[in-house]
Chains A and B, each alone.
Chain A
Amino acid sequence: MHQEYTVIEGDFVNAGKASSSVKKTLKQLNVDPAKVKRVVVALYEAEVNAIAHAYGGKVLVDIDSDKIHMVVADKGPGIPDIALAMQEGYSTARPEVRDMGFGAGMGLPNMQKNVDKLNVTSEVGVGTTVEMEVNF
């Protein structure tokens, strides 16, 4: 089952649209609530990053009966040092983003913690793609 969502730069109001809709689907499929939570938390963080650090992008979700595959692909500045970005507490969030309660530097580490497979690829000046998978 394929689902697609668009995220728009700076549109924090709509952050979580994709993860909420995915949540509803997974509940209907009788996926263990603890796993649903992991999916939702990870996808939400990825959505927020595309909104906060990049110029928006696309969320592509594929669900089948034993796993969920998620791709959040943005057009944006890219991440020069992915290993550094993955560290807990590391953040380049602008003050206005921090004022909105984002930018604790825990997004990528949280994704790592909650998914079974995480793959971040990025090209500076082009964009970032976060690929995640959770097995049910």
Chain B
Amino acid sequence: MFVHALKIDDSKCIGCMRCMKACPTEAIRISEGTASIQEHRCIDCGRCHEVCPVKAIYINQDDFQMVHEFPHSVALIPAVFLGQFPEDVRVSRIYDALIDLGFRHVFEVESAAGIFAEAKEHYARENEDVRPLISSFCPAIVRLIQIKYPSLVENILPIKAPLDLSAMYCLEELMSRGIPREEIGLFYVTPCAAKIAAVKAPIGEKRSIIDGVINMDVLFNRTYRKIKEQGKKYVSKQSRTINLSSDAILSTLTNGERRICLAKKSYSIDGLQNVMDFLDKLENDEVEDVEFLELRACDQSCAGALLSYENRFLCGARMYARARKAAERERNGEVPREREMDKWKDYLLENSRVEPPQPRSMFVLDKDRAKAFEKMERINKLKARLPQIDCGLCGAPTCESFAGDVVINRIGLSRCIFYQRHLERKDDITRQECIAAMNAVWGKDDRMKDDID
């Protein structure tokens, strides 16, 4: 039901609590000495991955060897992939290297940015009573709204993201050339965990047509190494420039969708905390007249993606530089190759809708309100007695979340070290019970290397 790309490697995790404290949806707990992610709360934003000091959090990807299994393997690359390379690396060389690595075709995902924008405008016109409309571009945001802002799910545009539109295009185009479906392998090069989760468990669709996912940092390494190997004197096999228009290149950066949308009043907000602050206000009806929202989980949008090797500002600046060059070519009358997609535009627009995402609230204590009410009273009572210092030693991020865990998941209250002291004072707990409670959170290894004199 909940497919996530972020996983924790127990053998590496040192139980330092950094991820638990960083998680914006309080999805992480520590037990038996290591962290674990509660699947129903995780939105795959990747904040935990960023803060882990021992790289215990990893992103599940498919085996690169799969690429060789399809005679027509397609690399669907995001524009930020190009932002990883220094500006003096020509796009044609990047394509060449990808082909050398085993892909038969290379296609930029954002080629569909224009069609994505058009599909959104169609929906906006047909649904004038739904405002603001929230972009479906960032899957971490869609999941955030599902679990934390259920009243806003109907504002999410039920439109396929550029990735899915591009994948559909590649499939139709290749099949129209007589290539059978089983020979075509669509590989998405992902900049983030959220996109992987979206591909593996698409919201509002039965299953994705993508055959495999490759992490962007891994592919960047391989590609850049290839380019270095080929050396300075290498002559490109193809004289291709970037396929994308300048609008498409910029579409994944902050303001990228907003700058080309038709709404009178719109906002672009990046960074998960900023987005949550804004949605809190929006949910209370404190934001007036806004028609369109471009919300992105990452600071600097996809330039700040988890699997971006380059610094987010440098990556963004490089993309701006490439966009400027593309704009210049467009001014000189050159038509960006992405326009080849227009051949399938009607088909893509017709198939651009998905089933509206459903609320999946993580807050609800119980579906039965009377029971929820009873649980809440117990949680509140318990919470008021805890020390409210959010020390995390119980294995939960806050005293409040611990109170919830005790009531809902029947976690032992004696995991709170203050409560334990309290019981000891009253002689209500044996030493054995204390040790058992401690082990439940921190594992059997007691983390003391030696006696302290």
Where the two chains meet, the residues of A that have a C-beta atom closer than 8 Å to any C-beta of B are: 1, 16, 19-20, 23-25, 27-31, 33-34, 36-37, 40-41, 44, 63-66, 136
Other contacts beyond A44-B284, A63-B373: 14, CB < 8 A: A1-B380, A16-B286, A19-B284, A20-B284, A23-B284, A27-B363, A29-B369, A29-B376, A30-B367, A30-B368, A30-B369, A40-B285, A41-B284, A65-B370
Distance A1 CA – B380 CA, assembled complex (angstroms): 9
Cβ of B150: which chain A residues have Cβ within 8 Å of it?
27, 33
Complex interface bits, B373-384 against A, C-beta within 8 A gives 1, otherwise 0: 100110010000
User: B364: nearest residue on chain A (CB-CB)?
Assistant: A30
Distance A66 CA – B373 CA, assembled complex (angstroms): 10
Structural contact, A34 and B369, CB atoms closer than 8 A: no
Known A-B contacts A23-B284, A37-B151; A65 and B363 likewise in contact (beta carbons under 8 Å): no
Min CB distance, B347 to chain A, in Å?
Answer: 36
Question: Pick the contact of A34 from B151, B372, B373, B380 — CB < 8 Å?
Answer: B151
Q: At the interface, yes or no: B359 with Cβ under 8 Å from chain A?
A: yes
Q: At the interface, yes or no: B16 with Cβ under 8 Å from chain A?
A: no
Min CB distance, B162 to chain A, in Å?
Answer: 30
Known A-B contacts A19-B284, A27-B363, A136-B369; A33 and B151 likewise in contact (beta carbons under 8 Å): yes
Structural contact, A30 and B365, CB atoms closer than 8 A: yes
Min CB distance, A58 to chain B, in Å?
Answer: 20
Min CB distance, A121 to chain B, in Å?
Answer: 26
Structural contact, A37 and B373, CB atoms closer than 8 A: no
Distance A101 CA – B150 CA, assembled complex (angstroms): 28
Where the two chains meet, the residues of B that have a C-beta atom closer than 8 Å to any C-beta of A are: 150-151, 280, 283-286, 359, 361, 363-370, 372-373, 376-377, 380
Structural contact, A36 and B365, CB atoms closer than 8 A: no
Cβ of B370: which chain A residues have Cβ within 8 Å of it?
65
Structural contact, B366 and A23, CB atoms closer than 8 A: no
Distance A31 CA – B150 CA, assembled complex (angstroms): 11
Known A-B contacts A1-B373, A64-B373; A30 and B284 likewise in contact (beta carbons under 8 Å): no
Question: Pick the contact of B363 from A28, A40, A41 — CB < 8 Å?
Answer: A28
Structural contact, B364 and A25, CB atoms closer than 8 A: no
Structural contact, A25 and B286, CB atoms closer than 8 A: no
Distance A34 CA – B367 CA, assembled complex (angstroms): 16
Distance A30 CA – B368 CA, assembled complex (angstroms): 8
Known A-B contacts A28-B365, A64-B373, A65-B373; A37 and B283 likewise in contact (beta carbons under 8 Å): yes
Structural contact, B283 and A23, CB atoms closer than 8 A: yes
Distance A41 CA – B284 CA, assembled complex (angstroms): 6
Distance A1 CA – B286 CA, assembled complex (angstroms): 27
- By Cβ-Cβ distance, the 10 closest A-B pairs, closest first, are A33-B151, A30-B364, A27-B363, A65-B373, A65-B370, A29-B372, A28-B363, A40-B284, A28-B365, A65-B369
Min CB distance, B258 to chain A, in Å?
Answer: 23
29 residue pairs A–B, Cβ–Cβ below 8 Å: A1-B373, A1-B377, A1-B380, A16-B284, A16-B286, A20-B284, A23-B283, A24-B363, A27-B150, A27-B361, A28-B364, A28-B372, A29-B364, A30-B366, A30-B367, A31-B369, A33-B151, A33-B359, A36-B151, A37-B283, A37-B284, A40-B283, A40-B284, A41-B285, A63-B373, A64-B373, A65-B369, A65-B372, A66-B369
